[in-house]
Structures are given as structure tokens and as C-alpha cells.
Amino acid sequence: MPRLTVERSIKINAPAEVVYSALNDFNKWIKWSPWLIIDPDAEVDVAADAKSYTWKGDRVGEGNMKVREEEPNKYIVFDLNFLKPWKSVSSTKFVLNRENDGTEVTWSMDSTLPFFIFWMKKMMTAYVGADYERGLDMLKAYVEEGEVLSKLDFEGFSSFDGGHWIGIKTSCGLDTIATQVEADYAILRAYADGNIDAPAGNFFTIYHKWDIIRDSVAYTAAMPVSEIPKTLPDNLTSGQIPSIKVYRLKHTGAYKHLGNAWSAGYTMMRNKEFKHLKKVDPFEVYHNNPQETKEKDLVTVLHFPVK
């Protein structure tokens, strides 16, 4: 059977002892797990000694995990067993390396795929890697700040009135999207200041394609307008979102954790909790100004067009 190996690392500004205490107690995993956040109704049962737990959910499947071996403040090895959506046995490990002012944390997994989905190896490696990156980001926030500024509200089906927009279409690496989006919106705001009375609503980003295997994303940073000007600078484009039915998923918290919302939405799509309207790309709408709002209060609503 094809082997599946994943490894991701992050620097956490805290002593190894503090990081270790967030890893060897499964009661604390609930605070930063990249999977449980997307499936808040999942059943979780942590053992009395906090060294093992089981889970069962519509989005996260079913399985169990337990500590196999550990050396305090240095490493922990876990046995990970998936029962659904398919059976598999994996070994996962956290290694902690002290640095001058913190701890480097490396999360790895060694597993195998069922022979009948061998063709999914690259995709599964990328998906698990993305989950590990989200999880490490949340672990870092939990250890350094005491909480993860990421909350999901599954608001359900609604209607979107549609409208015209002016925007900047960009393709970039996933690791640079935050700075690139910020730069694009700075250009849009500068254009708006001299050319339109006011935006016709909240700014939003349309996501045309995520390619986590090739580490790239194509998107349009957009500003709603009541009508599209007759002429636009060469670096701007325009378009229209039609009046459609959508599934709304609200994220409250830091933009750096928005991957949690997108992971939840695409997992729901794969589970057929809603059927994507392919002719319209999903988009996220920003409901407050990050320059005037605390990170914990930032509201972003994802809209998944549905049939």
C-alpha cells in the first residue's frame, strides 16, 4: 500500500514545558484541533488520564488516538486509528526543540493509504499538510495567547442579492496570500478615493481556484459598486455576481485562521451537505475594517453558491 508521510513545523514563543503541556493532554486538544473546529457537533470522549480519546462526527469521521511513547518536553508519539471514512493505522509524532526564545514544534505522520485510492496520494498529502499547518497555527495561538481567535457559525442557506464589482485578479502562492490581498485592497481603496463616491457595500474576495498540491491560489479582490465606470485602469477588472442562493458560514476572529472556515465549507461540500453551483465561485465578505477592529471581533462571512 502507498505510504503517506507528512511533516510541518512552526516556531512557538514559549518554553518547551508549556508547549508540551498543551500536547500531552487531550482535553486541551479540543481548544486547537484543526478537525474538531470544523465539526462542532462531533462526539468526543477523552479518557480519565487524558492520554487517549475517541471521536465520531459527520465531517471528521470516526477514530481514536492514544499516547504510545513520550519524553517530557522533548517528544510525544501517538497511535492514530481511523475507522471511518476508511480504516487506517498511523503513527504521529510531535518533536520539541528548544530555541533561544522559544520552541520549534515539528508535527509528523507516517501512514498508508488503502490500495484502492493510491491515486489520491499527492492530494491526501497536501490536505493533511494543510490541516497540520492550521493546527500548528492554532496551537501557537493557544499557547502564546491563551485562546484561538477563530469561531465558526454555520448560518445555513440564504439568498444573495448580487451586484457589480471592480477588482484585481491575482494568482500567488498560499504562503503569500495574506500580504498580496492586503496590497490589492490598498490599490482598490486608492482608486475609490478619487473615482467613486463610496463602495456599494462591504469589500469581498472571490476565490476562483485553490490548488494546495501546487501551493497556489487564484482570486479577485473586489469592491462592490452601484455601476461599473466606463473606463478602468489596466490593473483593474470588473464583473457581476448574480442573485443566487448561498450557504453562509461566518468566521469571527483573526484573518490568519480563515482557513478553518474554508476547510469546513469544502468538507461540507464533499459530504454533500450542499451542492455547489459551479458557474459562480465562492467568496468571502468582510464585515468590518481590520484597521479599526480588534482581531477577535473581525467578522468574515463565506458564501458558497448552491443549487
In sequence order, the β-bridge partners of residue 152 are 251
Residue given cell 465562492 in the structure block: 282
Q: Which three cell numbers stand for residue 148?
A: 484561538
Q: What is the pLDDT of residues 91-129, one digit of tens each?
A: 999 999 998 889 999 999 987 665 555 556 677 778 889
CB of 127 closer than 8 Å to CB of 212: yes
Q: Which three cell numbers stand for residue 126?
A: 497536501
CB of 88 closer than 8 Å to CB of 111: yes
Fold observed for domain 155-305: Multidrug-efflux Transporter 1 Regulator Bmrr; Chain A (3.20.80)
| Half-sphere exposure of residue 296: CA atoms within 13 angstroms, side-chain side | 5
Q: Is the pLDDT of residue 146 over 60?
A: yes
Integer angstrom CA distances of residue 292 from 132, 143, 297? 31, 26, 10
Q: Is the pLDDT of residue 174 over 60?
A: yes
Percentage with pLDDT > 70 across the chain: 96
Residue 196's pLDDT band (cuts 50, 70, 90): confident
DSSP-H helix ranges across 72-231: 121-145, 177-195
Count of other CB atoms within 10 angstroms of residue 257: 24
First to last CA, the chain: 38
Q: Is the pLDDT of residue 67 over 90?
A: yes
Residue 214's pLDDT band (cuts 50, 70, 90): confident
Superfamily of domain covering 3-147: START domain (3.30.530.20)
Q: Which three cell numbers stand for residue 202?
A: 462591504
Integer angstrom CA distances of residue 157 from 244, 247, 273? 11, 4, 11
Q: Is the pLDDT of residue 195 over 90?
A: no
Give the alpha-carbon dihedral of 220, 208, 260, 166, to 10 degrees. Answer: 20
Query: What's the pLDDT at 71?
Result: 97
Query: What's the pLDDT at 116?
Result: 54
How many residues in the chain? 307
Query: What's the pLDDT at 170?
Result: 97
Q: What is the mean pLDDT of residues 64-88?
A: 93
Q: Which three cell numbers stand for residue 249?
A: 458560514
Q: What is the pLDDT of residues 251-303, one digit of tens each?
A: 999 999 999 999 999 999 999 999 999 999 999 999 999 989 999 999 999 99
- Give burial (CB, 10 Å; 0-12/13-18/19+) of 30: middle
Query: What integer best gives the mean pLDDT of the chain?
Result: 93
Integer angstrom CA distances of residue 270 from 59, 127, 159, 257, 264? 9, 13, 22, 21, 10
Query: What's the pLDDT at 273?
Result: 97
Domain boundaries, the chain: 3-147, 155-305
Residue given cell 491563551 in the structure block: 146
Among 142-151, 185-194, 242-251, the minimum mean pLDDT is found in 185-194
Query: What's the pLDDT at 66?
Result: 96
pTM of the full predicted structure?
Answer: 0.92
Give dist(CA 155, CA 249) in Å, integer.
Answer: 6
